[in-house]
Chain A
Amino acid sequence: MDAPIYYSRAEYIETDTGNKVSRRATIAGPQNIILGGKTIIASGAIIRGDLRRTGPGHAVVISLGRYCLIGEGCVMRPPYKTYRGNFNYYPMKIGDHVHIGNGTIVEAATIGNHVEIGKNCIIGKFTIIKDCAKIADNTVIPPNTVVPALALFAGSPGQLVEDLPESTQEMVEAHTKGFYARFQPAAAER
């Protein structure tokens, strides 16, 4: 069984639903961000909930499901475009069991469930990533790309490398749950 991953208790804020958010992460516009529970935001991550659609009323800018991980130094920024002469931001929706590696920049429109994104990737504007897909480390996904379910994409620009095994969903789920369980405050500070 894998070893625990320790963090300094002072660094993380834990919410009622088990989300763990680093104090060293930048959460802009928190009122526009939804975290599903048991989701970890690591240090140095930047989440731009402030980049909301113009207009009145409350708007969800970025929503994350359960058991997600936003790695160290990730940037999550909603996509934008000019449509009929109007510049606007569009919401970003991320499902359950999604892990995003360190240093990755995400401007996707939707990311499904059970998706793994590697380190140092760029996920372009309005990208759609379907369930159980995987993006290898250092991949550049250009704007508007569609990544189908159970596909592994790699390279720059990212391209299909292979189909993932039929048991991907179970494996990713076990991994994300295991990661959350192993992510513990350092013993010395208990």
Chain B
Amino acid sequence: MAPSVEYYCPCLAASPHPPPPHLPSSSYSFHPLHNLFFCEECDAVRCNRCVMVEVSGYYCPNCLFEVPSASVRAEKNRCARNCFLCPNCRNTLTVVPSDPPNDGLDRTSPIVSTSLGEPPFFLFCNYCRWDSAEVGITFEKPTGLAAQLQKYEDSAPEALEFDRLKEHFEPFLRASSSSSAITPSSSHHHSNPITAAASSALARDIPGVGKYNPLTRSRSGRDKGAHKTDIPDYKARVEVGSAAGLGAGGGEADAEFVRHLETVAEVATVEQRWVNSWASSLHTGDLKPLRIPLQSKKSKRCPSCRHILIKPEQKAQSVRYKIKLVAANYLPAISVSLPHARVALEMMKRSALNRSTAQPEDQNPAAAALLAGKTYSFHLSFTNPLYDPIQVRLKKAQAMPTPGSEAIGEKAKRPPFQVNLPSAAFPIAAFAEAWEYEDDEDMFGLEDDDDLDGLGRLQKDSRGKARTVGVVEKKANVTVVAGEVILTKEARGNVKFNMLVSYTYRSDDPDPTEGNETGTPSRHASNKQPEMKNFSFYTVVDLGPIVPREETRHDTDL
């Protein structure tokens, strides 16, 4: 894995500090910058785990038709046009006529016009060659197939049973919404009349099944009693014992089927049966074409102030947004690299160049590894997205003794590595449109060393390693700084640490809520004294795995 930097989202947590970087669970708190949002109102980073998501529109991922919400309900969240998934492999099915195609090739890609051709029509998978005629589904006309299939679906025993359940609980649903605040203890989810009714229905005696008597029932039993009497017992359409007889799976029939199997392919896989909410037939031959589930476009809101962070354009396939507040437009983008690994790769590529074009991939020669007991330099490159210059200051977050780690017995050992970051603040120039467009060549430095402006000129040793901690390079709106990591001889695992990034920027808008902000006076001798603000965020820097000493020899031998 290439070295990486991810950004911390506190997800409204009380503590502003990120979790220790080494815990596997910590990965949920760190995200690539481009996955994060930024709430201007709260002046805070938000992520997909904490934002509130709302559906702003439905569409079919195959025919791309935008489906109005009213139809979504009636059509049960699936496309009502001619869009079907193969029940065998999940490829999209094609409608084909039953007259033989005019050349043999066409059978594998039946892009035959459906306006001609002879009935009956059937659905064909051009990936696994499943077809609906195999399971006895054919159509007289090549149109309106979804409606016909939905008729089957809606008349299936499980669908009827579900409708009946819904009908049964409808009065309680209505009652609960009108009298939701009757009992003060109604916040307890067991005392809600719907769940009470459902649990009483579920706890009903089933012939041959022992009665389950959870302890919690006795606790919630008292306040539930008030509602319990209002709810008549649900009477199923199909009794549990007889469901197997309807081909719904289970029972002696399945055992008999499995006993006489000739190939495993006769049994539908779990993935193929997964979509059913009801125990379904084991037979591959009973799989039905699936109407394609709809997809949605989503709006996202800040979980704290509810301001909209993401609002897509109405059109389903548009990739534009009416509102798009992404963190990448507010926080500097950080990338990390290991100069010694880069040098090693370059050597390799140059030697390979005569063969063909070298692509920069994750090749990992031994020379690029991090060896225990050694000291390495690393480069952090900061890109400023703002139209004003910023001042950045870095700090390694203290590896706080976690309450959990001590309990496990992992006592505060000597840390496996020590990180040195530049202690002084460094500037990053403003982003300018001109750098973004047209001849970007200048920006990426065809001239290698000329741009070093003296400020952070480093002595490079023969292998190109920069030894100093500080600014290495400044180009356009990018500043590269060098840090250093000292690995102990016993170091193991990944070189992974939390880093606090603080930056000072000029605030454009005269802030009405001034005083709340950690504004700092301008250091620039500007004539208008622009208001400066400070923003801090945590990141996790992962430089990659440490190669232990013993293994080193092995690696170089290979």
Contact = CB atoms under 8 A, between A and B. Distances in A.
Contacts of B128: 157
Interface in A1-15: 1-8, 11
A5 B335 contact: no
Contact of B443 (A44, A148, A181): A181
Interface string A115-148: 0000000000110001110000000101111101
A186 interface: yes
A143 B111 contact: yes
Interface string B376-401: 00000100000000000000000000
B275 interface: no
A144 B94 contact: yes
Nearest to B106: A82
Contacts of B478: 1
Interface residues of B, number: 59
Contact of A150 (B89, B319, B356, B381): B319
A49 B90 CA distance: 33
A1 B333 CA distance: 11
B317 A3 contact: no
Contacts of A76: none
Contacts of A1: 335, 337, 381, 444-445, 478, 480
A144 B350 contact: no
B328 A170 contact: yes
A82 B112 CA distance: 7
Q: Which of A6, A83, A171 has the most CB of B within 10 A?
A: A6
Contacts of A11: 356-357
A26 interface: no
Contacts of B90: 157, 159
Nearest to A1: B381
Interface in B329-365: 335, 337, 342, 345-346, 349-350, 353-354, 356-360
Interface stretch (B59-67, B188-196, B414-422, B485-493): B59-67
A180 to B, nearest CB: 8
Contact of B326 (A2, A150, A166): A166
A23 to B, nearest CB: 11
Given A165-B35, A181-B443, A144 B111 contact: yes
B89 A151 contact: no
Interface string B45-65: 000000000000001011110
B227 interface: no
B423 interface: no
B321 interface: yes
Q: Which of B61, B63, B94 has the most CB of A within 10 A?
A: B61
B295 interface: yes
B126 A6 contact: no
Nearest to A160: B61
A177 B440 contact: yes
A27 B310 CA distance: 43
Majority SS at the chain A contact face: loop
Contact of B319 (A6, A125, A168): A168
Contacts, number: 133
A184 B440 CA distance: 13
Contact of B127 (A2, A85, A157, A163): A157
B358 A6 contact: yes
A148 B444 contact: no
Interface string A151-176: 10000010110010111111100000
Contact of B342 (A3, A44, A160, A182): A3
A135 to B, nearest CB: 14
A42 to B, nearest CB: 6
Contacts of B177: none
Contact of B34 (A148, A151, A171): A171
Contacts of A160: 61, 295
Contacts of A7: 353, 357-358
Nearest to A102: B359
A39 interface: no
Contacts of B34: 165, 167-168, 170-171
A88 to B, nearest CB: 11
Contacts of B64: 130, 146, 148
B87 to A, nearest CB: 13
A43 interface: yes
Contacts of A171: 34
Interface in B424-467: 440-441, 443-446
B61 to A, nearest CB: 5
A184 B448 CA distance: 13
B529 interface: no
Nearest to B360: A5
A171 B326 CA distance: 12
Nearest to A81: B111
B280 interface: no
Interface of A: 1-8, 11, 22, 24, 42-44, 72, 81-85, 102, 114, 125-126, 130-132, 140, 142-146, 148-151, 157, 159-160, 163, 165-171, 177-178, 180-182, 184, 186
29 contacts: A1-B444, A1-B478, A3-B342, A3-B346, A5-B359, A6-B350, A8-B357, A11-B356, A22-B357, A72-B356, A82-B105, A82-B106, A125-B111, A126-B111, A130-B64, A131-B319, A140-B127, A144-B109, A144-B111, A146-B61, A146-B62, A149-B317, A157-B89, A165-B34, A167-B328, A170-B328, A178-B440, A178-B444, A186-B350
Given A8-B354, A157-B127, 8 more contacts: A2-B360, A82-B102, A125-B109, A143-B109, A143-B111, A160-B295, A165-B35, A178-B444
